[in-house]
Amino acid sequence: MDKNDILFFVNVMFNGPMSGEQYDGFWNSMITSPIVLRWHKSGSVNWSKAEQQETQKLVVKQILEMMTRADEDVSVLLRATDTLGSFVDGSTDRIQLAANEHAIPILIGLFKLNGEKTELKRTACDVLMIVGEATGMFQMMAAKNIIGSLCLCLRAENPGRELEIRVVRLLLRLAQEARVYGQIVNEGMMSPLFRVIERNSSIKEVTVTVSTILADVSAFARKCKLDISPFVDSKCCRGQVLVLAATCHAQDAAVVDCTFRFFVNVSNNPVNLPHLINSETIEGLLSLYVLAGGTGYLAELAGHLVHGKSVNTITGYIGIAIEILCRVISSSDVWRDETVEICNFVREMLLATDGADIVLNCGGKDLLEILHTYLAGPDVETSSGGDEPGFLEPCNLPEDGSQYVEEAVARREEFIGSDVNLRARIVYENTSMVEDDHDKMPVGNHEEKSRRAVFITARVHPGECQASWMMRGVIDFLLGDSDVARILRRMFVFHVIPMLNPDGVFYGNSRCGLAACDLNRQWQTPSKALHPTIFHTKELIAKERSTRGVALFCDMHGHSRKKNVFMYGCDTKRRPNPAARMFAKLFSTQQTAKKYISFPDCSFKVSKDKETTARVVAANELKITWSFTIEASFCGANYGVYK
């Protein structure tokens, strides 16, 4: 068989006037011909090297010529492409020969053919992968704008799973070898990639490949400070798509790391991408973190998410970070880089607005307990030569405080053990428990109804135990024998609610009740089923206001950052109420109160996030002029007797 015979066979193979059955039979006999196989696999036909090269060149030209005939039957194009792949497979010389004959642009051109032709395009992807085994071939493909052609394939209405798998496989090799990240962004490839992973999330190879490409592309954009927002379609590029796909394969560390790396990078995008990073995505990432058992990108991602935003948006991340620190510190494990990174993250959160509150609410108290627990160190040798173990001196309450706690515990146990029908009785009644001088003189019904009401509430936030101590002082004073207390009882009807959130106190919550929400943000429209204490308290205030009038409303709280005891009122430009400011000023100058109340720390602003609190609703909706929150600090005082 000489080269003319080979050319004849090739021509007949593609041009012969045969029926379909004849064509198939001839093709099968040709492709399995021992002579042809020996020739293009081992070159064992007795030709000189120059003759072999010349014949190979002629065959490649003939095959490529057939591949350029766009009007040819697709089966002919398919077989020509498959023949080219078989011809160059395993030989860098034949790959180079095909490249010199412009095989790469011809193969890329097959992606642009009209119609689906999915099998032909799959074969073209396979051949390009084979061609890429030779040095410099992927760079040559990138120079011929293969990215744009691959993007056309993925944008097809129904490209098919096998074609999508081959395209993303080829795209990953191109990205790794030719660094085509800029082309991927500019050609709008990110949107089709999201569609691919959404359609094939159950296929591990697709998830690994696409998540790797997206992570690398986002890293390139971050490094170049490139805004990718114009290149990602908000309809298909949704963060939850990537998170759900990664969750299906959470056992694969590469998938998890690539997913988190992608979100770390896009969180640094110059423009916010809410369709990629939102509350739904964050919840999904937290679930993925738990399923995967950790990733080094968690703290970095959370740190970037909080940049320019409220710490409240990433409370889940803070909780997990503190949980990790508690586990590592208590187990004395060796600290890894991730642990140090998490420590830095928690420190940054503490410095953010409202950060200290959030950290404490997300497990910070447990972390403080661990950090302040004595850890036995090496024995210290004493002067007598023995070992004296170290210990921490226990912190004891003052004697009167300890006695009060013991008495309160005893009363609580007695109350719980009492008849259930008696538990509903009011613990503190108005004046019937105190013998005032005016008790000897009957109070008329008209005079009793003319007395205005005063409402004092506390412990809507369970963790603010200062409120209970202030409430104890208020109750002890109002039930006392002082002249001022007697006058107040004569002039007003006091409604005292010592605990607005008993469920939260019982279960040890910091701010929430069993409805998993902050009850002090529900006063505008409280639910009778979800927020019963707030609902009925507001209803009682409204009823008293319509009958006898309400002189004062005061809600007692604890503050985690500001020092001293101070008040919050409502006096704004939109709703002027100078009487509130005047009351606080006079109160801070009263003989006893001036020892504790710091007027410079008082505030009368009403920010948007406070519009649904007790103080603001009582002032704006219920029209109570003197509506206040009184705060006692967790942090001590720099004013007054406790300075």
Three-state SS for 248-284 is HCCCCHHHHHHHHHHHHHHCCCCCCCCCCCCHHHHHH
C-beta of residue 473 within 8 angstroms of C-beta of residue 556:
no
- The dihedral region occupied by 294, where left means phi > 0, alpha psi between -120 and 50, and beta the remainder, is left
Residue 208: φ, ψ to 5°: -60, -45
Distance of CA 207 to the CA centre of its chain: 21
Residue position matching structure tokens 């970095």: 300
Helix (H), strand (E) counts: the chain: 30, 5
Residue whose C-alpha is closest to residue 28's, from 79, 64, 78: 79
Angle at 96 between CA 95 and CA 97, to 5 degrees: 90
Q: Which element (helix H / strand E) includes 487? A: helix 483-491
Other CB atoms within a 10 A radius of the CB of residue 131 amount to 25
DSSP state of 436: -
SS3 24: helix
Which residues fall within 8 angstroms of residue 607, CB to CB, at 6 or more apart? none
Strands 565-568 and 627-633: antiparallel
Residue whose C-alpha is closest to residue 492's, from 438, 538, 530, 447: 447
Terminal alpha carbon distance of the chain: 107
Other CB atoms within a 10 A radius of the CB of residue 400 amount to 8
Torsion, Cα of 299, 300, 305, 310 (10° steps): 50
Q: Which of 164, 464, 544, 631 is flagged as catalytic? A: 631
Q: What six digits make up the tokens of 461?
A: 């936030």
DSSP state of 387: B
CA–CA separation, 494 vs 478, rounded Å? 9
Other CB atoms within a 10 A radius of the CB of residue 386 amount to 8
SS3 328: helix
Torsion, Cα of 192, 197, 203, 209 (10° steps): 70
CA distances from 123 to 76, 78, 217 (A): 13, 7, 26
* Whether residue 21 lies in the annotated active site: no
Residues with catalytic function: 631
